[in-house]
Amino acid sequence: MRSVLIVDYAGRGHAFADLFVRTDPDITVHYAPGCAAIEHDRIVSVPWLDLYDPDPAPMVRYALDAGVDLVLVAHPRPLANGYVDAFRAAGLPTIGPDRSAARLESSKVFTKDLCSRHGIATAAYRWFDEPGAAVEHIRATGAPLVVKCDYSCQGNGVFVCDDVDEAVEAVERLMVTRDFGPGGARVVVEEKLVGEEQLFFVLVSGEQYVMLPMAVDYPRSEDGNAGPMCGGMGAFCPHPGETAEVVGRFEEQMLRPLLAAATAEGIDYTGVLYADCMLVGDRLYLIEINARMGDPEAEVVFPRITSNFTEVCRAVLERRLDELPPLELSAEHFVDVSATQGPDGVHPGWPYGEVGRGHPVTGVRDVDPDRCQVFYGSVRLTEEDELVSDGGKVVHVVGRGDTLEQAIDHAYEGISKISFTGIRYRTDIGKVLPWE
């Protein structure tokens, strides 16, 4: 295989592209839409392609014209829109869940119903298409409860409620005022689980799989784990709690039953599966599945992989993951600090409201490449080739080191070189744990 098309953007897509070119000296990566600012002679961004286009045809045409040997769809929107099905129909070897498999992320009701049918533990739940019935159920059950929209909103649209009024208000916001968009048409009301949250990443091919390293993610926007949930202000890897017992329990109680259940229901999953679980006593419960790698977890997990990733992908396609030697991992530590677009004097910034765009981003070239790597999030090049901010998570600065402490120092040394109007980042990534 000489070339791959990665369908994604932002930090996760950049980390995928980097994983291929770093571990396979012969591969060229087409990265759509990617980021035109990436300077690498084997990474070709395709900024005119639109990831949100419901019609996969333009991407399929590009892949055929470019003659790629492999396609990897990594972003949830094209996955939910059936891009994998379209690439495969055009005869292109493709990794990523097809439209029916991607429902494991795009519908919580679908996933929870599947779990119930196959005896996989998940919080007791009911779902509603009508707010009155949801409120009636909430009042009858009493708090604590969790109210969430059916369609995954990437960490938004989930309300962990300790009293009934809060839960009723959540229904109002999700179903009536639709604060979180059309996904609020159907809500799930479920039991609140109390335990230890554990996240796992797995590369799957049918019922075969390879576990990827665990990572610690910081979902809260402010220092000290304060502020709203925002899908990740940073991450680090290795995870201090990753043990053979933790991973083994996940494989035994969750992963193997889940893959068997999917197969039994005609779902043939390929690609990364990200399982969010809660350990209650010694029983693992499924909170949700994402049919993709996490972001910013990808930015700290992928740099540890040193196996030729093209060969790993070939094994996924040929259903030979079982025969693959164990994934080779660097012993180094990686810490991601996400530089986000905060208030710029006009807009409140991410994740609080409107985000200012077009602010010049400087200093990326001053970051020491031996100590840090910069993955591009929401940035673009202007017609004058100037790097400017273009959304919430602007750049990810990933420090590396022989110890966690060294990697933290390198990440913060790196991010101190970067500036743009309204830059905001957490100063405690790796220093406090997100569950503390």
- Chain residues binding ligand GLY by CB under 6 A are 154-155, 217, 231-232, 290, 294-295, 297
Q: Which partner from the list ligand GLY, ligand AMP, none does 217 bind, CB cut-off 5 to 8 Å by kind?
A: ligand GLY
CB of 276 to ligand AMP, least distance (A): 5
Q: Does 211 bind ligand AMP (CB under 6 A)?
A: no
CB of 284 to ligand AMP, least distance (A): 13
**Residue 316: which of 95, 117, 21 has the closest Cα?**
95
**Span interacting with ligand AMP, options 5-13, 86-94, 190-198, 210-218, rule CB under 6 A:** 190-198
Would you say 128 or 250 has its CB closer to ligand GLY?
250
Detail the DSSP E strand segments found in 37-136. 43-45, 70-73, 94-95, 125-128
What does the alpha-carbon distance between residue 386 and residue 301 come to, in Å, rounded to a whole number? 30
**Residue 303: which of 390, 420, 215 has the closest Cα?**
215
Would you say 218 or 285 has its CB closer to ligand GLY?
218
Query: Which region holds residue 276: left if phi is over 0, alpha if psi is between -120 and 50, else beta?
Result: beta
CB of 68 to ligand GLY, least distance (A): 26
Determine the Cα angle at 295 with ends 74 and 102, to 5°. 40
Q: Does 363 bind ligand AMP (CB under 6 A)?
A: no
CB of 389 to ligand GLY, least distance (A): 20
Q: Does 192 bind ligand AMP (CB under 6 A)?
A: yes
Long-range pairs of 323-327 with CB within 8 A, sequence gap ≥ 24: 324/210, 327/210, 327/212
Query: Which region holds residue 363: left if phi is over 0, alpha if psi is between -120 and 50, else beta?
Result: left
First to last CA, the chain: 45
Q: Which partner from the list ligand GLY, ligand AMP, none does 193 bind, CB cut-off 5 to 8 Å by kind?
A: ligand AMP
Instruction: Please tell me what DSSP assigns to residue 252.
Output: I
What does the alpha-carbon distance between residue 213 and residue 305 come to, in Å, rounded to a whole number? 9
What does the alpha-carbon distance between residue 235 and residue 245 come to, in Å, rounded to a whole number? 22
Q: Does 155 bind ligand AMP (CB under 6 A)?
A: yes
Q: Which partner from the list ligand AMP, ligand GLY, none does 378 bind, CB cut-off 5 to 8 Å by kind?
A: none
CB of 33 to ligand GLY, least distance (A): 19
Beta carbons of 128 and 150 less than 8 angstroms apart = no
Segment 268 to 307, residues that bind ligand AMP, using CB under 6 A? 276, 287-288
What does the alpha-carbon distance between residue 367 and residue 230 come to, in Å, rounded to a whole number? 26
Among 160, 279, 317, 364, binds ligand AMP (CB under 6 A): 160
Q: Does 190 bind ligand AMP (CB under 6 A)?
A: yes
CB of 292 to ligand GLY, least distance (A): 8
Could you list the residues that contact ligand AMP (CB under 6 A)?
123, 146, 148, 155, 158, 160, 190, 192-193, 197, 276, 287-288
